[in-house]
Amino acid sequence: MSEPLLLVQNLEVRYRVRHGAWGRRAWLRAVAGIDFAVHAREALGVVGESGCGKSTLARAILELVPHTAGRLVFGGRDIDALTRAERQRLRADLQIIFQNPLASLDPRMHIEEIIAEPLRVHRGDLMPRERRQAVLDLLGELGLAQDLSWRYPHELSGGQCQRVAIARAMILHPKLLVCDEAVSALDASMQAQIIALLGAVKETHGVALLFISHNLQVVRELCDRVLVLYLGRMMELAPAQLLYARPLHPYTRALFEAIPIPDPEIQPARLAHTMPGEPPSALIPPSGCVFHTRCQHVVALCRRQIPAWEEVGDGRHVACHRWREI
């Protein structure tokens, strides 16, 4: 395969936090040992529950939070080795859309200003007329009426706001679009529309997607490959079709089993077999495999030794001592 667009190598992000009654300082490792690649035009999904480090990962890739170890290589170049000017240029290629569309749009700017702002920053060579034309073209492509361009964010629906956020991210034709829970705040039918739109944007603009979501079914519709995180560690990475056909990691399986199915003959029985417990604190992560405290297949080895990130064929990776037997 060709050189990846984004290479994440052994990435770690630690936060300095205070905890306990005396506000003792401690390190919280939000993500650790993250190793994956995103290829051009690919959609990679990142799934996991709250607190698993999904958003930290997104922010670290955009350098919105500094990573404390590991490497980020974008387009063949180590991000840490870039000069300020080069980083500034890189930002045009790396864009993000956030979960809450209303909160991520400036309430005092009208829609055209919001979408044109990246052009003002990165494309000083364009005339105002050209900027305006670029905005209007993109509005049309994303299914927004042109007369919305003079409205303010609060006048728009959640779905329209998210389309504006997509337009703002896409106006510079980035190579990688990071979507951090981009559809989680929307109704099911609106979710379906925005997902279809992101799929279309991916095809027409040839942009790669890093699609972060807690929702496995949303990821299924859009993504070529899926990475499963738990407590800041990678559990499983696989082509989407294979993962959804046969998850290997017990955590991935538990996630699938927890999804409520609209079938009254099956669903009550599924509820009777729910995975107990809650994710442990990231301040005091469990020894060995971080998932061992909730895993139904746990053995002594799991408590003692961190499972290796094993390549298991068909482009699949899994971190579990027992994936072969279970």
Partner 1 sequence: MSAAPVLQVQDLSVRFASAQQEVDCVSDFSLSVARGECVGVVGESGAGKSQAFLAIMGLLASGGRARGSARFESHELIGASHEVLDGIRGARIAMIFQNPMTSLTPHLRVGDQVAELFVKHRGLSWRAARARALETLERVQLPEPERRARQYPHELSGGMRQRVMIATALACDPVLVIADEPTTALDVTIQAQILALLAELKSAQRLSLVLITHDLGVVAGLADRVAVMRQGRIVECGPVGTILRAPSHAYTQSLLKDALRAEGPDP
Sites of contact with partner 1 (CB under 8 A): 49-50, 187-189, 192, 214-217, 220-221, 244-247, 254-268, 270-272, 274-276, 278
Token pair recorded at residue 7 = 């290479």
Token pair recorded at residue 312 = 């298991």
Measured from the CB atom, is 254 or 289 closer to partner 1? 254
Measured from the CB atom, is 27 or 256 closer to partner 1? 256
Residue 49, CA distances (Å) to 143, 181, 230, 274 in order:
32, 12, 7, 15
Contact between residue 222 and residue 209 where contact means Cβ atoms under 8 Å apart: yes
Measured from the CB atom, is 10 or 217 closer to partner 1? 217
Measured from the CB atom, is 90 or 228 closer to partner 1? 228
Alpha-carbon span 211 to 214, nearest angstrom: 10
Amino acid code (one letter) for 299: V
Amino acid code (one letter) for 70: G
Nearest distance, CB of residue 324 and partner 1, angstroms: 19
Nearest distance, CB of residue 62 and partner 1, angstroms: 24
Dihedral sign of CA atoms 290, 33, 30, 62 in order: negative
Measured from the CB atom, is 76 or 277 closer to partner 1? 277
Measured from the CB atom, is 85 or 272 closer to partner 1? 272
DSSP E strands: which ranges in the chain?
Answer: 6-19, 24-38, 43-47, 69-74, 77-78, 94-97, 176-180, 208-213, 225-230, 233-239, 310-313, 316-318
Judged by DSSP in three states, 70 sits in strand
Measured from the CB atom, is 76 or 264 closer to partner 1? 264
Alpha-carbon span 64 to 59, nearest angstrom: 5
Nearest distance, CB of residue 322 and partner 1, angstroms: 19
Judged by DSSP in three states, 34 sits in strand
DSSP structural state of residue 50 = T
Nearest distance, CB of residue 231 and partner 1, angstroms: 13
Measured from the CB atom, is 134 or 289 closer to partner 1? 289
Measured from the CB atom, is 207 or 320 closer to partner 1? 320
Alpha-carbon span 304 to 14, nearest angstrom: 23
Alpha-carbon span 14 to 55, nearest angstrom: 13
Alpha-carbon span 137 to 256, nearest angstrom: 40
Nearest distance, CB of residue 154 and partner 1, angstroms: 17
Nearest distance, CB of residue 245 and partner 1, angstroms: 6
Nearest distance, CB of residue 185 and partner 1, angstroms: 10
Nearest distance, CB of residue 21 and partner 1, angstroms: 12
Amino acid code (one letter) for 2: S
Judged by DSSP in three states, 54 sits in helix
